[in-house]
Copies of this chain bind each other. A is one copy, B any other.
């Protein structure tokens, strides 16, 4: 079968515009599945050959997508809306390794993968409030997206502040002071190459605005509590002498993934999310084992993708290129599940 026999499909959110735009650049037909009333971005920007509207993402049109021989590209919102179980039991073609999903979503498994197996530098976690021996950030589980997270400087401070969050599940993480940085990797099972496609920093509300309030006013206003809700992204480049370390981390994560989910391992786009300290050390908080919205500034290519390709290469397009090469080499089963 050739490229014309497939479609590229995704949910209408997150990085769908980029994914579909990239798929069209590579010659694929494209389908976007939209929640009713949220189709406008996909009519304003002509990246979808077909829009399938559903009342809610719970009614995922799997049969229709199978009939159209669509390959689904997962993104952050896709997993959030569908859930891991539904994703794993889905029969439609799926780009990526489903076995990695639980390793990414479970904090302990993620830590085993990144820290134990791949040797990635991560902030300490404190099992119990009594263990706190330095400044920490307290994060809550679930889909609140960074709301209510708070800093505490010791056990007493934690005990006081946690009162405002009765009954919530939390994690206590060492607070590392450093600048946020998100590294966008791509590993192709077809070329066997790891690539760095771009970097971003998130634009978070309201934490990226509180520094615009003077210290005196913050204290006077008496109500300036940071939230970490991602509302956008800012393109950045990284100091070139930090690239060897970034590359080493990416390779280690891919290698380690093979020890936890088998030979196919992690492939496609992924992102290491962390901070860089004044000592130029990376501390990684999390991995996203798929395309992140931080690649959206680079719809027409990034400073890094231009170094490698002679044409605009977004992460969305890179995915489509991977699928195209797999089809052309009759290896499509190596990239879809």
* List of B residues within 8 angstroms of A238 by Cβ: 231-232
Asked if A124 lies at the interface with its beta carbon under 8 angstroms from chain B, I say no
Interface size class of A (residues with CB under 8 A): 35 or more
Tell me, rounded to whole Å, the shortest Cβ–Cβ distance linking A79 to chain B. 14
Asked if A6 lies at the interface with its beta carbon under 8 angstroms from chain B, I say no
A13-B240, A298-B303 known; A247-B179 Cβ under 8 A: no
Contact of A247 among B41, B47, B181, B300 (CB under 8 A): B41
Cα separation A231 to B209 with both chains bound (whole Å)? 18
Q: Give per-residue flags for A218-234: 1 if the beta carbon is below 8 A from chain B beta carbons, else 0.
A: 11111111110111111
| A296 x B303 contact (CB < 8 A) | yes
| B177 x A224 contact (CB < 8 A) | yes
| B205 x A278 contact (CB < 8 A) | yes
Tell me, rounded to whole Å, the shortest Cβ–Cβ distance linking A78 to chain B. 12
Tell me, rounded to whole Å, the shortest Cβ–Cβ distance linking A191 to chain B. 12
Tell me, rounded to whole Å, the shortest Cβ–Cβ distance linking A280 to chain B. 6
Asked if A131 lies at the interface with its beta carbon under 8 angstroms from chain B, I say no
Select from chain B the residue with minimum beta-carbon distance to A12. Answer: B240
A214-B224, A221-B153 known; A195-B300 Cβ under 8 A: no
**Which residue, of A214, A293, A297, A298, has the highest number of chain B Cβ atoms within 10 A?**
A214
Select from chain B the residue with minimum beta-carbon distance to A300. Answer: B306
Tell me, rounded to whole Å, the shortest Cβ–Cβ distance linking A54 to chain B. 15
| B235 x A235 contact (CB < 8 A) | yes
Tell me, rounded to whole Å, the shortest Cβ–Cβ distance linking A164 to chain B. 14
Interface segment, A85-93, A108-116, A196-204, A262-270? Answer: A196-204
| A232 x B199 contact (CB < 8 A) | yes
**Which residue, of A177, A235, A296, has the highest number of chain B Cβ atoms within 10 A?**
A177
Asked if A333 lies at the interface with its beta carbon under 8 angstroms from chain B, I say no
Q: Give per-residue flags for A31-44: 1 if the beta carbon is below 8 A from chain B beta carbons, else 0.
A: 00000011011001
Cα separation A237 to B230 with both chains bound (whole Å)? 11
Contact of A233 among B44, B135, B194, B237 (CB under 8 A): B237
A41-B247, A194-B44 known; A296-B237 Cβ under 8 A: yes
Asked if A46 lies at the interface with its beta carbon under 8 angstroms from chain B, I say yes
Contact of A303 among B146, B240, B241, B297 (CB under 8 A): B297
Asked if A276 lies at the interface with its beta carbon under 8 angstroms from chain B, I say yes
**Which residue, of A237, A242, A275, has the highest number of chain B Cβ atoms within 10 A?**
A237
| B232 x A236 contact (CB < 8 A) | yes
* List of B residues within 8 angstroms of A56 by Cβ: none
Cα separation A226 to B180 with both chains bound (whole Å)? 15
User: Could you list 12 examples of A-B contacts with CB < 8 Å?
Assistant: A21-B306, A41-B244, A45-B304, A177-B206, A178-B206, A179-B203, A179-B209, A215-B216, A215-B224, A216-B219, A239-B293, A299-B306
A-B pairs, 4 with minimum CB distance: A211-B211, A227-B278, A215-B218, A215-B215
